[in-house]
Structure 1
């Protein structure tokens, strides 16, 4: 499947971007989320220009992504530890069952 061109609007500017088929709604949602975050950043009195707002929004999005990646890694580590504990428990139960005298 070849990508198709989708027109989105970010910061009051229209952009045409290539988008894989089936991903159109995800791209539109991403553009909408970016616009919402950009407007929130622009509403701050400390942000004087569109460029500053874009940079701060990009920085905030990058920070959010890094936090989610760290959270995912922690959850994967916890899951792996739980799996190892369950495996050890099962192995111990099997050993005990094997070594116990039959009734």
Structure 2
């Protein structure tokens, strides 16, 4: 498993994230989702400050993840426990990146 550095942009800030080569597309998709969520929170004007916006976005995404885990499996829902854990790990890595900057 080869690791590479991926550059993602979230709220107009560039971040370098190391990830396995085969996870690059998923990481970029995760960063885009996080960027969209953070922009929506920022536009609402109810939360000020990058760290607070990041925490609110992470809480919202974590809540959705937990809701998805609690709902009975539906045939059209392709997320398994490994996929949910992978998404949760990416959220954690994204938060770590915000804490470092």
TM-score by length of 1: 0.65
How far off is 1:49 after superposition?
A: 1.7
How far off is 1:45 after superposition?
A: 2.2
How far off is 1:29 after superposition?
A: 0.7
- Equivalent residues in 2 for 1:1-103, closer than 5 Å: 1-71=1-71, 74-75=72-73
| Higher RCO (CA < 8 A, seq sep 6+) | 2
User: Which deviates more, 31-40 or 43-52?
Assistant: 43-52
How far off is 1:47 after superposition?
A: 1.2
Post-superposition, which runs of at least 4 consecutive aligned residues in structure 1 deviate over 4 A? none
Q: What SS class does the counterpart of residue 64 from structure 1 fall into? A: helix
Q: Identify unmatched segments of 5+ residues in structure 1.
A: 77-103
How far off is 1:27 after superposition?
A: 0.8
Q: CA RMSD in A?
A: 1.5
How far off is 1:46 after superposition?
A: 1.3
Q: Aligned residue pairs: how many?
A: 74
Kindly name which structure, 1 or 2, has the bigger radius of gyration based on alpha carbons. Answer: 1
CA distance in 1, matches of 2:52, 2:36: 16
CA distance in 2, matches of 1:31, 1:40: 14
